[in-house]
Amino acid sequence: MITSTLAAADIVTAIPSLWEAIKVPVCILMIMAGTGSAIFSLHRGFGSAAGKMIGGIALAALALGAVGLTVSAKETLDRHSGGILVGQYGN
């Protein structure tokens, strides 16, 4: 019982630290993927290449801002719903 509790606590601690460790490299890979697909689609026109490049940058920005957006959405929902996400709905 104690072992499984400690393992669950380790997982809860490890997942956010893993996300913080890989967040920037993943964003760099997303930008590189957008750049690579833009280079290979340049023969179809500049608009297609620019769209793929902007898509890669947008995905990287979403990955970097995911935690902030989630916290902001949670706080906004709690503020306007009476605390529904913290178990205090109706108080």
47-84 pLDDT, tens digit per residue, is 888 888 898 888 888 888 877 777 777 788 778 777 67
- Residue 60 has a pLDDT of 85
Examine the pLDDT at 13 and tell me if it is beyond 70. no
| CA distance linking residue 61 with residue 36, whole number of Å | 18
- Residue 10 has a pLDDT of 67
- Residue 5 has a pLDDT of 64
- Residue 88 has a pLDDT of 59
Residue 52 vs residue 14, higher pLDDT: 52
- Residue 12 has a pLDDT of 64
| CA distance linking residue 64 with residue 24, whole number of Å | 7
44, 50, 31, 33: CA torsion to nearest 10 = -10
